[in-house]
A and B are shown apart, each in its own frame.
Chain A
Amino acid sequence: MMKFLMMMIFMIPLCFKKNMFWMVQMMLFLMMYFFMNLMINVMYYCNLSYMYSCDMLSYGLILLSIWIIILMLMSSESLYKMNFYPNFFMFNLIMLLIMLFLTFSVMNLFMFYLFFESSLIFTLLLIIGWGYQPERIQAGMYFLFYTLFASLPLLLGIFYIFNKMNYIMIYFMKFFNFNLYLLYFSMIMAFLVKMPMYFVHLWLPKAHVEAPVSGSMILAGVMLKLGGYGLLRVLILFQKVGLKLNIIFIIISLLGGFYLSLKCFCQVDIKSLIAYSSVAHMSMVIGGIMTMNYWGFIGSYILMIGHGLCSSGMFCLANINYERLHSRSLYINKGMMSLMPSMSLWWFLLMSSNMAAPPSLNLMGEISLINSLVSWCWLSMFLLMLISFFSAGYSLYLYSYIQHGKFYLGIYSFYMGLSREYLLLMLHWLPLNILIMKIDYFMIWF
């Protein structure tokens, strides 16, 4: 683990040299490759050094975050072209990656909390530093305070556990069992806000709308998954309380998923629509985790990985349109099939992955989540049907509104898709649909 940390730390000087934008990306690719070759045992923590290590759960999420960071660099080439503080941007991304890496790999619950919060700072810098509109300050505040507000109880909860047990190693948490309601709420609310659960999701659409493409990608790709990761780690402490109280969160998130997918139809902003759709998917993930059965855990893990790749790709597509038309409005982004026919294919592929069409990871994840939720209570079938139906509805709505028909006549200058962009989209889509061949890595991890 230390070698990867060192590698990232020594990449920092590289960021401040001129014209090292692609070099940093190449180095990250290299690191990705090293990391992929890491020996991973299925059941246990391995590669322990100091207090960092990883098991399958963190392994997949670290891979996801490295991958998303690489693709973020690739998608924000315009920063580099326009010389819009690319050095500091790269530095920011590397720091963010370090924080995410440490969050996922650390074994101590308090250290987890520390890195969990510090990744917030760099995302905040990304949003208010490279965003488009003045409203980004407000969005940044929303983002910061929503997540911070609920995470202070988490800190107290961690201290409480430490006081009681004198031990806050994540691996040993499976031997504890707390039957305390207050502790339960204080430990999971931070993650639920981060996920985000319905009712506390307001920061997400705002942050997405104001963030630059890289900010949206990391938000949808990894930041939401931090919450899921935390829940998967922490819920093991609360098996007894969970049996009594998890029903609240399942109901909120299933109903919320349905409402959110209806809200998607009312959006006119592409990014906001994608943000709402990702909240809807995340609500299914919350439901799956909260059932606390095997199918739910693996389903949430698979859907987190799949959704991370898929929604990040969709934000890239939204940005590709934005760079050409300088608008995210659905009224202006129309009829792109006549202008960019090849990009239409990528819209369709990512859109279909978003609506859980085979053979994407999203489908496998949704199947597992549906299995877990229906076996938890068969009445949840109806809400799941509605969520699944409407997820197809808004995905198709998004796709066909943007691609089909006449285009906006106010366009006077345009350019075709660049090969960088096609590569970017392919790198999103390919792991999403190839990994289903090796689905056992996602299904047997604890």
Chain B
Amino acid sequence: MANVPFLGLKTHSQKVCSLFKRTLRNLEAFYDRRNVYRYQAVLMRERFDKNAQVKDMRVATQLLKQGEEELFLQQHSIPRKFPLSPGGVAYERVVQSPDWVLDYWHPLEKAQYPEYFKRREERKKEFIAMWEKEYGKEEKKDQHH
């Protein structure tokens, strides 16, 4: 659900760990005071630990399946999300423009940040100089946008 690992293949222990983590997230959504949540988390950990020593893989798979079902039935309808993480309210609210967008600002807009753009122009010249030193001068061609 939450995390799709590389290639989608997971070992049994990975699956259990993922279930445990999701369970804790679910508990966090239910019990919002830290101490209450810790208590519930410890209880949950105990339930997981109880079955940690099961060697028979058939039983273990069954248990995992039961656990998933129980989690599904008890999931919170409004899970608790941090605002900037995926699914949160403020996730991707503001588009982070890449650097080159600044080159296309209007001169009036650029004039609002004189020092920054002065230094930016200097850096650009330095970069071009470095480039030309390394790779030689570029021949001028007619360039259309």
Contact = CB atoms under 8 A, between A and B. Distances in A.
A406 B101 contact: no
A416 B104 CA distance: 7
Interface in B112-144: 144
Nearest to B103: A414
A407 B95 CA distance: 8
A412 interface: yes
A83 B145 CA distance: 14
B6 interface: no
A406 B92 contact: yes
A338 interface: yes
B104 A412 contact: no
Interface string B96-111: 0110110010100000
Contacts of A415: 104, 145
B104 A82 contact: no
A62 to B, nearest CB: 36
Interface string A398-412: 000000011101001
A82 B12 CA distance: 63
Contacts of B95: 335, 338, 405-407
A335 B98 CA distance: 13
A324 B145 CA distance: 8
Contacts, number: 27
Given A338-B95, A339-B101, A406-B95, A416 B106 contact: yes
B11 to A, nearest CB: 34
B104 A338 contact: no
A158 B123 CA distance: 74
A192 B95 CA distance: 47
Interface string A335-360: 10011000000000000000000000
A405 B96 CA distance: 10
Interface string A74-94: 000000011000000000000
Contacts of A338: 95, 97, 101
A413 interface: yes
Interface in A135-180: none
Nearest to B97: A338
Contacts of B101: 338-339, 414
A337 B5 CA distance: 34
A216 B2 CA distance: 46
Interface string A8-25: 000000000000000000
Nearest to B143: A413
A212 to B, nearest CB: 16
Contacts of B144: 81-82
Contacts of A414: 100-101, 104
A82 B143 CA distance: 10
Contacts of B106: 416
Contacts of B100: 412-414
Nearest to A416: B104
Nearest to A339: B101
A323 B98 CA distance: 20
Nearest to A81: B144
Interface string B7-36: 000000000000000000000000000000
Interface string A408-433: 01001111100000000000000000
Nearest to A338: B95
Nearest to B98: A409
Contacts of A406: 92, 95
A323 B101 CA distance: 17
Contact of B145 (A405, A407, A413): A413
Interface of B: 92, 95, 97-98, 100-101, 104, 106, 144-145
Interface of A: 81-82, 323-324, 335, 338-339, 405-407, 409, 412-416
24 contacts: A81-B144, A82-B144, A323-B145, A324-B145, A335-B95, A338-B95, A338-B97, A338-B101, A339-B101, A339-B104, A405-B92, A405-B95, A406-B92, A406-B95, A407-B95, A409-B98, A412-B100, A413-B100, A414-B101, A414-B104, A415-B104, A415-B145, A416-B104, A416-B106
Given A405-B95, A409-B98, 16 more contacts: A81-B144, A324-B145, A335-B95, A338-B95, A338-B101, A339-B101, A339-B104, A406-B92, A407-B95, A413-B100, A413-B145, A414-B100, A414-B104, A415-B145, A416-B104, A416-B106
